[in-house]
Structures are given as structure tokens and as C-alpha cells.
Amino acid sequence: MVGQMVNNKVKLGIMLLALKNVDPQNLTAIRQVYNERMTHIRAFWGALTEIQHVMRLLEENKYTHWSRSEDGSTIIRFLFREHPVSIQMFNQFPTIVLIDSMYKTNKYRIP
């Protein structure tokens, strides 16, 4: 049941409420729902890491993207990605550029 809710992008709190509505005697905690959700997601990814999964999605959805890493390292220092429609709009209106730079949004608090 949790796997179906993960596929439908249901929030964790609502997942827990749905489980408790199905079975009022259920003693499941939010942490158990979180763990099951991550198990389901990792099974979907297969042997890929998080960043490999992101790169695969970028390629599948035909995003323009490139990344930069340290020499001889697997650490990505820079990742650029752009939606195909945004590229078309830039080609039509090259004098207007909007840059959204994500800052301190990852779990390690690294810009």
C-alpha cells in the first residue's frame, strides 16, 4: 500500500493516516512509513546512486545538461540543467535571462 502511495506522490503524514484508517489497530510510526518509502524508491532506482538517477532522468526527458567535477574525483561541483522549452524561449528572446541559483539546498548544506 505504501508503494502505491509513493508512486502517487502522497505525503508521509497522509500515508500514515491512510494506513491507520485501513486498520485502526495499526501501531505503525511515521519513521516506519519513511523507511518503507525509501526502500520502495531504492528498489525503483536499482543499483544507481541518487545523482546517477538524476542524470538518467535528465537524459530521458531531453534536458540540456552538463556537470563539472574535480579532476580524478566523483564529486560533482557544478550541475547545469535546462528544460528544452527554456532553451527555445532563450533562442527567441536572447536579451532576457533569468538565473535561479540554488543555494544551501542539499542535505550536506554545501552550496
Confidence at residue 58, expressed as pLDDT on a 0 to 100 scale: 92
C-alpha cell at 26: 495499526
| CA-based radius of gyration for the chain | 19
In angstroms, rounded to a whole number, what is the distance separating the alpha carbons of residues 50 and 45?
8
**Is the overall model pTM greater than 0.75, yes or no?**
no
Confidence at residue 62, expressed as pLDDT on a 0 to 100 scale: 92
Confidence at residue 105, expressed as pLDDT on a 0 to 100 scale: 62
Confidence at residue 63, expressed as pLDDT on a 0 to 100 scale: 93
- Mean pLDDT, consecutive 10-residue stretches, the chain (111 aa), reads 84 87 86 88 82 88 88 82 89 79 64 55
β-pairing verdict for 64-69 and 76-82: antiparallel
Confidence at residue 102, expressed as pLDDT on a 0 to 100 scale: 64
Ordered DSSP codes for 14-25: HHHHHHHHH-TT
Q: Which amino acid belongs to residue 39?
A: T
